[in-house]
Amino acid sequence: MKFPERMAWRQQVLEDLIAKNPREFEPYLRLVFAVKNDALEQFTDLRERFVKMAKENPDDPLALLLAGFVLERNNTPESIRLLESAQSKAPEFPLPAKELAKTYFWGKRADITKLRQNLEIFFSLCVGVRIPHSFARRT
């Protein structure tokens, strides 16, 4: 199978998985990475699709998470707002905290306090996962 055909096939498989499992984050994540890596020219359309989904479903934490995820580095303040909104709407959902921690890890938005807070939230929500000693709160 040639590259363009393989790329189209992979995207179709991921879209089919999303259609069958619309509440699972992993197929969306794989789709974003596939489009970013293999068809960057299509990424703007994908980003617009997820932002539109969040606007149409402002109370859906998954829709907010997806929009925040694809806006990372493109519109970071809006990404943070969407991720924080997802976090507030579903405080037991760990993925917004993980994405926020990623945002606060480096660059202009680097903030060790917010990074630590979001990592603590993420690991406290993930059963059986412990916060590494180096990230533990020091008193």
- Domain locations along the chain: 39-135
Residue 19 clears pLDDT 60, i.e. is over it: yes
Tokens of residue 98, six digits: 């993980």
pTM more than 0.85: yes
CA distances 22 to 7, 10, 47, 124, Å, are 21, 17, 17, 25
Pair 52, 42: CB distance under 8 Å: no
In CATH, which superfamily holds the domain spanning 39-135?
A: Tetratricopeptide repeat domain (1.25.40.10)
d(CA 63, CA 53): 6
Phi, psi values for residue 131, rounded to 5° = -70, 130
> Using one digit for the tens of pLDDT, what is the confidence trace for 93-136?
999 999 999 999 988 999 999 999 999 999 999 876 555 555 55
| Mean pLDDT, the chain, whole residue set | 91
Share of the chain above pLDDT 90, in %: 82
